[in-house]
Chains A and B, each alone.
Chain A
Amino acid sequence: MIKTENLTKIFRTDEVETIALSHINLEIQKGEFVAIMGPSGCGKSTLLNILGLLDNPSDGKYFFLGEEVAGSSERQRARLRKENIGFIFQNFNLIDELTVSENVELPLIYLNYSAKERKAKVEEVLEQMQITHRKKHFPLQLSGGQQQRVAVARAVVANPRLILADEPTGNLDSSHGEEVMNLIEGLNKNGTTVIIVTHNQRDAEYSQRIIRLFDGQIITENIREYNR
């Protein structure tokens, strides 16, 4: 599903050049659950952004669903993104001015679903995430765990092929974190490819493969004994 060849990302300002990723080569198959780990500043989130088509690499190749996408326009990336990828962020990134329903509905609006279809799908996914009773609330009225469940609902409402989660439990306590990881695991069991970025070992244990980064390079790649 995903393949990179010598993927490199350099951030430049007037005075400083930072090599965030250097010659990353990896492959992720459909249905895999992969965790990317490493210390702060190692390039995990940068890699996730590129894999999620939020950013372009400075060099190298990136094949997504067999298509070379490195260097493609924002318009093309936006199209691929909305059709195939769901995102879950550490700080939830819900829109405070919209209700829970309206937040979850967003991807469907940009996929041009009709109002009736949107309503049905939103109801279904809120039910799945057991958050229907809060559908008219605003994010600031919810707990952290509830907000992250809404974020997960939003990420899956359009049935994406791939879920990318950047530190999904970073702002949650352990019980809520476990709740969210169980949800993500459930999605993976249903066939969705999942890539999470985390520095939390416990979260990483949900995955089948752990890729460790350090200073923008892959240093190890372990297939885990899947014990869960």
Chain B
Amino acid sequence: MANRRLYTLVNILGLAIGLTSFILISLYIIDEVSFDKHNQNADRIYRIVNKYDFQGVGEESSSSPAPLAFHLLKEYPDKIETVVRFFNNWTSPYFMTYNDKKFKEYRYFFTDSTVFRVFDIPFIRGNPEEALNPPGSVVITESTAKRYFGQEDPMGKVLKVEDAFSLTVTGIIRDPIPQSHLTYDMLISMSSLRWGGKEPQTWVWNPFWTYVLLKEDVKPGELSEQLPRFVQKYFYDAEKENISLYLQPLTDIHLRSDLDYEIEGNGNIAYIRILGAIAAFLLIIAFINYVNLSTAMAAKRSKEIGIRKVFGSYRKQLILQFITESVVISIIGLVIALAMVEILLPYFNDFTGKNVTSNYFLDPNKMSMLLVITVFTGIIAGIYPALYLSSFHPARILKGIPDRNRTGLNARKILVIVQFTISVALIIGTIFMYRQLAYINRTDLGFRKKDIAYIPVVYNPINRHFDAFKARLLSSPDIVSVTSSDYIIGKDYNTHEFRPEGFPPDQWQFFPALIIDDDFIETFDIKVVAGRAYSMDNPRDAEDGVMINEAMVKHLNWKSNEEALGKNFRTYLGREKVMGVFRDFYASSLHSAPTPLVLSMDKKAYASPDYRKYIVVRYQPGRQHEALSYTEKAWNEFVPDRPFEFVILEQELKGLYHEEVVMNKLSAIFTILVIFIAGLGLYGMASYLADQRTREMGLRRVMGASRFHIAGLLMKELNYLILAAIVIALPLAWLLVHNWLDNFAVRIPIDWMVFAMAGLFALLISTVVSTYKALSAYRVNPAEILRHE
């Protein structure tokens, strides 16, 4: 009886764990795939993507030039209902004040008044038709309203921005739901944005995310086929041969978009698929266990079944009885799983950075669906044991003739093989993922990443005092060098137009570039392989020279680095030549190989002091605290109104792989669960085999077999199953690992030791389980065994 209770408990536990994991992963997946679908027009909204391809180099930008949107609407009014743009100053903050309250705002967008016609943005106060029409108007979220105004009525209140302009609150909207690829605290009228008194007219500068709402019944292809003509008509001659536009469905952005200049970090459909597969595996494994453990109990219940049959029970009644039991166990498992989900959800959210709730399943429809899945699962999982158990012959049973259904046994063995195939493959996958991430962290990126801090300074008054600020910082012995840049090295870059030698002078080529300042090369220890770096000893360097990397030399088919020196490589208005060639480094994540890259000290860009985006400070190793404290003190002397902020380069670069890190951790946790459940299943199989072979084991003991001989019997039988699983899992795992590693330009080799380790681990589990089971069986007196047989 105790044994039967234990089996039932193990069964319910296995099911509960499987269901809990399934539910948690499902909540995550549902959250991820639901992004942007709350918009009722979602299936008609498309983002315009700009692809700049200059012989394989360029950019695929999620944002567009400012004039594109409304010219598109003007050209195709029969296809487009309306358009909207978003712009956010490259996420640089605005300092806003209301009375004496000061706030630093990152989450804002300048946007067109049409935004409320395209996207579902529920209003609490104000009129969506008018709220963003006038310049200087802003619509804020309810949380932002509380922050600024407390209990006061926000409508009509004025916010000062950077002491430069004002915004009047013209509407209050609901907080955006998290499942949106763009989120905000405030929306500012696009008409507030003025450079030289008017909206930007250039077709080169492209920081405006542009969306079109197609008319009902218009297929996206009908607009797409017009886009080449549109490019020819509106883009500049110097670039239009290399530009194409295409439509990206709104609902594809979160999981299927990894373009340049995304608004926020997106998810990855590949990882959703992996998680989905893991969820499915967990459920399958839990069910397999249920079937195996239930049938393992069969021998113990054979007497009960025999007696029931003798006293008139029909087979159908027995089947119904067993299926009912199975469904009840499934429901108990579900109840426990739901409780476990509630308990684990906060930790799960912390871990994944999400904010999912189980409310999803409180909806009666969803709960019914879950119940149906559970009941259906109970039925399916219960059918095999039901049919098997109810087929026993009562006379044979009551005579004590055990059932030796080889077909049933083989089916169960196959199930164990499936469980362990999944387990071994997951172990291998998780180990490789971990190793690849560790390798990425160790990889030499081609530039120095340690002991460097980036200080964001877009539209910061300190830009006007940069030279003095730099001199002040360099007077500290803890600070090695100071420079500046427009993007964080290794994380991102922009593309700019150049006119390199060998190309028509009136045709621009767009190349990835970093706009840098003096001492950039020295700060990052970038290796110069030909020519020289920018030097402060040569004041004309910034005007006369650019630096390019080896990949650029190859891309332009120049025979050598030395040949590249002195060749024309002009910026938009410049007359630069190649001054130096530097060794390739990884300008963005290790998902891609080093791209052709330009380092330009385009001072004309910096002629506007607001153009500099980051001041870079390199400090002495081990002196981070001292160096940054000194920097902060200096900062507060120059710009006391601006809070001092910084990011450490090493941390920023680690963040590029945040998704992989989360996936690796999730994968590790779920792999452990899979192994645990598969281990339970193996224990069940070992118990079954031990029961089946009780008589044999007793006989062998009578003949003098030691406990190790007996353990060896069981071990041999189970290890054959594990070996079969390993043989199937290895090529499968190789394929999956190989495909995943292909996502990285820098990758670890596929090490066969990992496969061997995973296989040995599986064999170890099997050995431990079978030894334990055999030793338990050994403790029973052989006379008892033979007596009962």
Contact = CB atoms under 8 A, between A and B. Distances in A.
B704 A49 contact: no
A50 B702 CA distance: 12
Nearest to B709: A110
Interface stretch (B151-159, B635-643, B692-700): B692-700
Interface string B111-125: 000000000000000
Contacts of A87: 702
Contacts of B703: 82, 106-107, 110, 154
Interface stretch (A22-30, A88-96, A192-200, A207-215): A88-96
Given A93-B786, A110-B704, A54 B696 contact: no
A65 interface: no
A55 B781 contact: yes
A199 B328 CA distance: 50
Contact of B702 (A54, A91, A97): A54
B787 A45 contact: yes
Contact of A54 (B706, B778, B783, B789): B783
B2 to A, nearest CB: 12
Nearest to B700: A106
B400 to A, nearest CB: 9
Contacts of A107: 703-704
B665 interface: no
A79 B781 contact: no
B701 A78 contact: yes
A157 to B, nearest CB: 10
Contacts of B789: 91, 93
Given A93-B699, A96-B404, A55 B783 contact: yes
B714 to A, nearest CB: 13
B315 to A, nearest CB: 26
A81 B404 contact: no
Given A54-B781, A93-B695, A110-B709, A81 B786 contact: no
Interface in A17-66: 45, 49, 52, 54-55
Contacts of A12: none
B705 interface: yes
B696 A81 contact: no
B70 to A, nearest CB: 83
Interface in A73-105: 74-75, 78-79, 81-83, 87, 89, 91, 93, 95-97
29 contacts: A49-B783, A49-B786, A49-B787, A52-B702, A54-B702, A54-B782, A55-B781, A74-B778, A75-B706, A78-B701, A78-B705, A78-B706, A79-B704, A82-B703, A82-B704, A87-B702, A93-B695, A93-B699, A93-B789, A95-B696, A95-B700, A96-B404, A97-B696, A107-B703, A107-B704, A110-B700, A110-B703, A110-B709, A111-B704
A151 to B, nearest CB: 10
Nearest to B705: A110
Nearest to B782: A54
Interface in B86-110: none
Interface string B751-789: 000000000000000000000000000100111101101
Contacts, number: 50
Q: Is the interface of B mostly helix, strand, loop or mixed?
A: helix
Contacts of B781: 54-55
B243 to A, nearest CB: 75
Contacts of A81: 702, 704
A83 B784 CA distance: 22
A91 B400 CA distance: 12
A143 to B, nearest CB: 17
Contact of A89 (B701, B778, B786): B786
A57 B404 CA distance: 34
Contacts of A96: 404
B704 A54 contact: no
Interface in B673-713: 695-696, 699-706, 709
A154 B787 CA distance: 20
A110 B709 CA distance: 9
A47 B161 CA distance: 102
Interface centre among B702, B787, B789 (most CB of A within 10 A): B702
Contacts of B706: 75, 78, 110
Most buried by A among B404, B781, B782: B782
B709 A54 contact: no
Contacts of A78: 701, 704-706
A92 to B, nearest CB: 10
Interface string A112-127: 0000000000000000
Interface string B186-216: 0000000000000000000000000000000
B453 to A, nearest CB: 70
Contacts of A52: 702
Contacts of B786: 49, 54, 89, 93
A110 B700 CA distance: 9
Given A78-B706, A96-B404, 14 more contacts: A45-B787, A55-B781, A55-B783, A78-B704, A81-B702, A82-B704, A91-B789, A95-B696, A95-B699, A106-B699, A106-B700, A106-B703, A110-B700, A110-B705
B708 to A, nearest CB: 11
Nearest to A50: B783
The 5 closest A-B pairs by CB, nearest first: A82-B704, A110-B704, A55-B783, A54-B783, A49-B783
A208 B706 CA distance: 35
B688 to A, nearest CB: 15
Nearest to B400: A91
Contacts of A45: 787
Nearest to A96: B404
A83 B703 CA distance: 9
A166 B426 CA distance: 53
A107 B700 CA distance: 8
A9 to B, nearest CB: 10
A48 to B, nearest CB: 9
Contacts of B782: 54
A171 B34 CA distance: 72
Contacts of B695: 93
A13 B702 CA distance: 24
Nearest to A82: B704
Contacts of A79: 704
A141 B274 CA distance: 52
B341 to A, nearest CB: 40
B32 to A, nearest CB: 52
A74 B785 CA distance: 14
A106 B701 CA distance: 10
Nearest to A105: B703
A82 B183 CA distance: 80
Contacts of B709: 110
Contacts of A154: 703
A150 to B, nearest CB: 13
A50 to B, nearest CB: 8
Nearest to A56: B781
A102 B343 CA distance: 56
Interface in B704-762: 704-706, 709
A82 B781 CA distance: 16
A169 to B, nearest CB: 18
B775 to A, nearest CB: 12
A54 B782 CA distance: 6
Contacts of B705: 78, 110
Contacts of B778: 74
B646 to A, nearest CB: 71
B488 to A, nearest CB: 68
A212 B786 CA distance: 23
A96 B787 CA distance: 18
Contacts of B700: 95, 106, 110
